[in-house]
Structure 1
Amino acid sequence: MTRRTGLRAGLRAGLRGGLTVRAVLTVRTGLTVFAITVIPSLLGGCSAQGSTVAPAGPAAELRLGYFDNVTHAPALVGLEKGILANSLGDTKLRSQVFSAGPATIEALSAGAIDAAYLGPNPAVNSFIKSAGKSVRIVAGAASGGAALVVRAGIDSPADLAGTTIATPQLGNTQDVALRAWLGEQGYDTDTAGGGRVHIAPTDNAQTLALFQSGKIDGAWLPEPWVSRLVLDAGATVLVDEASLWPEGAFPTTVLLVRSEYLTEHPETVQALVAGHTASVGWLNAHPDEAATVINEKLTEDTGKGLSKAVITRALSRVTFTTDPLAATFPMLLKAGVTVGTAKSGTLAGLFDLAPLNTVLATAGGTPVSAAGLGTE
């Protein structure tokens, strides 16, 4: 059996094994070279929508942004195990840690990075502001793993009047979710922190310290910060965001690239997507090892990992998937416009899932839908 045949057989076996993601690739010995092995047969159709610029071939370098969050575990695992670097082949991978989506988008817009893992709302805002020219979402990464946690004494929405609630950054995905939910509960808020509930965009690590000192009353956060506030600071979950979405499915993290980079280096983006898909597959195929690998990367980045209890709880609340759940994006945009953190506009062309679906087809997987908002 050839290496390529063996890999494909292993990939199909993983798909038949009932893994929960629609785009799953089981990582086994040698799978980190999957992209290098099959990329030559996958090329074609990987370009920014409407572009007439000729591809320049594989890039010398890819600069990737990500967060040290459990909801960014495909990035953490892909970097720690070398899956992404191996998939990119001769393209040098450089990575940079960010703390929230809007800051990541600023780096993408400035050309400081080429691709990033981040929440959907900043991606939507960038796409709308640029009239569809700035970024393309090329894959999903995580669903779930976000919640509103509060101090003792807050048992219902009625108890929130006069409180201060933190979010990671103004206009980020959790910030929009909180503002939209508060509006549904009858609370007025504004982007300056006014209103009957005061919203305080704050770095996640500072949020933990502020909550522990009693200076804020709660926070709407992604994992592992939800679990850290619950287990390390005695918070309780008032709203699990999954309860607000049909079947509990909503995008927490997506993978996107600069449109210009996609146009110039489609082969490199194809390789990135292949490596990302393999990282997602590894997470779903190795749940018992995931916490250890994630903690190794967190320790490398921050000097300290998560406790076993925290990372176990956090991982139990996140689903890793390459499906970006594109059909939810009009609702995400509507929420951002309603709360004043986004402008209205069209999302047509936001997704370029052709590279992803080429990878999935090669592995015998199910294609992912762009919900009419881009190429498949």
Structure 2
Amino acid sequence: MARTSWTTRSLAALALSAFALSLSSLPGRSEPTTVEIAYLPLMGIAPLFVMDQQGWTREAGLDLKLTKFSSGPAIIQALGSGKFDGVYMAVSPVLVAKAAGVDLKVVAASGRESHAFLAAGPLAGTFKEAASPKAAFAAFAKANGRPAKIASLPRGSMPDTLLRYYMEQNGLTAEDVQILSQGEEQVRQTMLAGAADGALMPEPIITILEQKMPAAKVIADGKALMAGHPGFVLALRSSFIDRNPDAALKLAALNTRAAAFILANPDQAADAIFAFFGKGLIDKDVMVAALKSPYNPPLERLSDIVSGSKDLQDYLLKIGSQTKPVDIDALFYAPALAQGGGAK
């Protein structure tokens, strides 16, 4: 996906102005504010890694304590037990957590339409001749005597939700697709071992698999999966924001600054996030490619994902992954929306 210069310039300008605004009204330095954040090791939350590794959070008086998880639903369980001040993950588990009583507010975001459906060689081959996804999956099932096994994250996660939406939109059933609910690392291992016929995931998983499986092919990008679906969000507990409103806005501003940095300096950004992806298990060139991937598109403003979040909630409620509706407008922290909150 081409990135125009105006996108880079606009994000950079917004980043500098928002960052300056958030810091200008603060008094002299005091003890840093500790912020405990749970996260998934996925490229969509790269701004969090960059702001931490570049030292910007410390300069802003924030002491980030980051804890890695393998799936959004696992983070929801931790939030329900009172752990962490916030999370950086996909919107769907944030909505599920909010509906379950965890009072979160979104202060920043990263990406939109930031997932892809990758088919391994045999399944990808059926799409060359088939007139539709339904026909392709039917041809695969006939040739192999079983439905296609598609690896994704657990129910309630964004990949699982998008997979179910894709199936519904294309008339696919359990006769066509067997969903394998796994953790992020398991999805990668399952695909590389040939135990799955496809995977629906965000970056960097798509780039990793494409490079290791040359016959694999993306059969649906983010727009084809669910047009306008939101990517990843930084959400904080309302109680934390009430105690530390300045810290919340500083995080929002730093997210914007980091997003602009990533667009302008993907090589340096890859260095900054290297430690968060398996301690060297992913090569730097793969990270750079994932950052530049068309399946990891930037986001101009936080407000751009409000409408998509409403559509997503409607579907989560329809399939029973979310127990009750939440006020989407109230989910977004109003001062952060006013500040802009553009992200990658």
Is TM > 0.5 for Structure 1 vs Structure 2? yes
1:233 corresponds to 2:213: yes
1:122 counterpart letter in structure 2: P
Quick one: which amino acid aligns to residue 38 of structure 1?
S
Report if aligned partners of 1:333, 1:344 keep a CA contact under 8 Å in 2: no
- Aligned pair 1:260/2:239, yes or no? yes
Please give the alpha-carbon distance, in whole angstroms, between the structure 2 residues aligned to 1:25 and 1:65.
29
* Deviation larger for 70-79 or 156-165: 156-165
**1:81 maps to which residue?**
54
Q: How does 1:1-376 map to 2 (within 5 A)?
A: 18-20=6-8, 24-25=12-13, 34=20, 37-40=23-26, 60-87=33-60, 89=61, 91-130=62-101, 134-154=103-123, 155-156=126-127, 157=133, 158-160=135-137, 161=141, 162-189=147-174, 196-234=176-214, 235-246=216-227, 249-295=228-274, 297-298=275-276, 302-309=279-286, 311-317=288-294, 318-321=296-299, 322-323=301-302, 325-348=305-328, 349-358=330-339, 360=340
Contact 2:163 2:225 in 1 (8 A): no
Structure 2, unaligned runs of 5 or more:
128-132, 142-146
RMSD between superposed Cα atoms in Å? 3.0
* CA distance in 2 between partners of 1:108 and 1:59 (Å): 23
Deviation at 1:105, TM superposition (A): 2.4
CA distance in 2: counterparts of 1:92 and 1:129, whole angstroms = 28
Aligned pairs, how many?
Answer: 315
Distance 1:40 1:355, change over 3 A: farther
Q: After superposition, what is the alpha-carbon deviation per residue over 1:147-202, rounded to whole angstroms, capped at 9, x for unaligned?
A: 1111222234233341111112221011100011101222235xxxxx64211111
**Counterpart contact for 1:119–1:253, Cα < 8 Å:** yes
Give, as a single letter, the amino acid of the residue that structure 1 aligns with 2:203.
E
The DSSP-based 3-state class of the residue aligned with 2:269 is helix
Q: CA deviation at 1:72?
A: 1.2
Moved more, 150-159 or 63-72: 150-159
In 1: Cα distance, 2:334 partner to 2:212 partner: 39
CA distance 1:288–1:303, change in 2 (3 Å): closer
The 8 Å contact of residues 35 and 86 in structure 2, kept in 1 or not, is answered as yes
Q: Distance in 2 between matches of 1:67 and 1:153?
A: 30
* TM-score normalised to structure 1 length: 0.74
- Name the SS for the 2:121 alignment partner: coil
Q: For the Cα contact (< 8 Å) 1:167–1:174, is it kept in 2?
A: yes
The normalised TM-score by structure 2 is 0.81
Q: Secondary structure at the match of 1:320?
A: coil
Aligned CA distance change for structure 1 residues 311 and 201 (closer, same or farther; 3 Å): farther
Instruction: Give secondary structure in 1 for the equivalent of 2:247.
Output: helix
Aligned-partner Cα distance in 2 for 1:21–1:183: 39
CA distance in 2, matches of 1:169, 1:183: 18
Distance 1:82 1:356, change over 3 A: farther
How far apart are 1:320 and its partner, in Å? 3.2
Go from structure 1 to structure 2 and tell me whether the alpha carbon gap of 1:221 and 1:145 turns closer, same or farther (over 3 Å shift).
same
Q: Is the 8 A contact 1:85 1:92 kept in 2?
A: yes
Q: Which amino acid aligns with 1:238?
A: I
> Matched residues in 1 for 2:195 and 2:325: separation?
38
Report SS of the residue matched to 1:138.
strand
CA distance in 2, matches of 1:257, 1:285: 28
* Equivalent AA in structure 2 for residue 139 of structure 1: A
CA deviation vs aligned residue, 1:264-315 (integer Å, no higher than 9, x gap):
22122122222222212222232453333333x336x534333514631452
Give 1:26 shift: 7.0
Q: How far apart, CA to CA, are the structure 1 residues paired with 2:9 and 2:67?
A: 27
State the Cα distance separating 1:342 from its structure 2 match. Answer: 1.8
Q: Structure 1: 5+ residue runs without aligned partners?
A: 1-16, 42-56, 190-194, 361-366, 369-376
- The answer (yes or no) to whether the contact 1:59–1:268 under 8 Å persists in 2 is no
Q: Percent identity?
A: 22
Q: Structure 1 CA distance, aligned partners of 2:241 and 2:31?
A: 10
